[in-house]
Amino acid sequence: MEEATQIHSDQAMEASKPPRLQWLDAMRGFTMILVVAYHVAQMAFGENEKTSSSLPFLVLFRMPLFFFVSGFLAYKVTFQWNLSSIGHQLWKKFLVQVIPTLVFLSIFIILRKGDFWANFTHILSLSTKSGYWFTWVLLQMFVIYYAIGHRSWAVWAMWLISVGVYATLYMPKVFTYHKADFFQASSLVLTMKFMQFFLLGNLVHRYWDRVQRLFAAPWFFPTVTVLAFFCCADIFRWHTFKFMWTNLPRTLAMYSLLMMVVMFFHYYQDWFTRETCMGRTLQYVGTRTLDIYLIHFIVMPKLTFVGKWLNANQPNFLIDIMCSLIVAVPVIALCCLISHILRVSPFYKKYLFGR
């Protein structure tokens, strides 16, 4: 009788949850593919943003999109804002995001680097952690989010503050505090850079009905696309803004390109359901982002000859991005295979991937 009551209670709780936005999972999968493609160009091909045709463009919106989705999903109407719930949530985030990252970072150093302790301490002193910075930064964002509370006005205020703090990172003649070792070793400098997009996603979810009406407005998408075009033109061609204003078109491009991707997936959401092949594939990648993120650095091939060929035949954005995607797909597939093998163990499933 008690078991039947418990089952009924669980079913009632499941039914009370809002329906999952399948297009959002697909968009997260799409973003993960871009992340791996970016790292293929950077780590496998040996390209950088000065020589590559695709890297400077991809960097404008791939990580903002990731943090936008994280912030969007962080807002839960039914969440109980008390110390017990917040403490439980942060502890769960710590177990899922920090412990697995340290484990896979250690494996990465053992397999891909030389002296373990020398490389381990050196990598931890870097803001990017040899790529393993995302989960640590995301945990910092959750700490800030839960600290400011659930009031919408507090989230708005923190978003404005985060934009202001972000702006100081690009005023080297005025602000230099972020160059201190503490901001680098803690990766706080990256939290300061991307926190605004986490909060943007949170605000969009809070006002989702209004945002959808804004998406439907006939003037909105043309305005966003024109803004994205001229901002990208200034970034890559014109360079009209100088000194502390140099980063303005870059910031506007990040916001406008992010919004274009969100609107695209929302508008064509029927393409990204589980009933379509593309939808199932992207959603699967979207639900395995942590696994792929943690593993793909370890299995990344060395293909520097491709990078040399691309750099010798630049600029060619299409070939550049296609080469990165062609390599990214088998890398992601291998990551998923390794993930499935490790998930055979309930211990690994719980402590490596938080399931």
Q: Model confidence over 31-68: pLDDT tens digits?
A: 999 999 999 999 999 988 777 878 888 888 999 999 99
Tens of pLDDT, residue by residue over 129-163, are 999 999 999 999 999 999 998 899 999 999 999 99
**For residue 115, what pLDDT is reported?**
86
Average pLDDT, the chain: 89
Q: Is the pLDDT assigned to residue 112 strictly greater than 50?
A: yes
**For residue 31, what pLDDT is reported?**
94
Q: How far is CA 275 from CA 22, 28, 30, 184, in A?
A: 11, 18, 17, 45
Mean pLDDT of all residues in 9-18: 47
- Report how far residue 270's alpha carbon sits from residue 301's, in angstroms, rounded to the nearest whole number: 35
Name the helix (H) or strand (E) containing 111: helix 99-112
Q: Which amino acid belongs to residue 287? A: T
Mean pLDDT of all residues in 202-224: 96
Least confidently predicted of 17-21, 174-178, 199-203, 206-210: 17-21
Mean pLDDT of all residues in 83-87: 91
Q: How would you class 148 by CB atoms within 10 Å of its CB: exposed for 0-12, middle for 13-18, buried for 19 or more?
A: middle
Mean pLDDT of all residues in 219-241: 90
Could you tell me which of 333, 351, 346 has the C-alpha nearest to residue 295?
333
**For residue 19, what pLDDT is reported?**
63
- Report how far residue 200's alpha carbon sits from residue 252's, in angstroms, rounded to the nearest whole number: 14
Whether the pTM exceeds 0.85: the reply is yes
**For residue 254, what pLDDT is reported?**
95
**For residue 302, what pLDDT is reported?**
93
Tens of pLDDT, residue by residue over 291-319, are 999 999 999 999 999 988 888 877 788 88
pLDDT class of 17 with cuts at 50, 70, 90: low
Q: Is the pLDDT assigned to residue 18 strictly greater than 70?
A: no
In the numeric block, the tokens 């605000």 are attached to 203
What percentage of the chain carries pLDDT values higher than 90?
A: 69
CB 286 within 8 A of CB 34: no
Tens of pLDDT, residue by residue over 70-81, are 999 999 988 889
**For residue 243, what pLDDT is reported?**
63
Q: How would you class 175 by CB atoms within 10 Å of its CB: exposed for 0-12, middle for 13-18, buried for 19 or more?
A: middle
The verdict on whether omega for the bond into residue 301 sits within 30 degrees of 0, i.e. cis, is no
**For residue 59, what pLDDT is reported?**
86
Mean pLDDT of all residues in 263-282: 95
pLDDT class of 175 with cuts at 50, 70, 90: confident
Least confidently predicted of 50-54, 75-79, 200-204, 280-284: 50-54
Mean pLDDT of all residues in 274-301: 94
Q: Is the pLDDT assigned to residue 5 strictly greater than 50?
A: no
Structure tokens at 24: 């959002």
**For residue 1, what pLDDT is reported?**
44
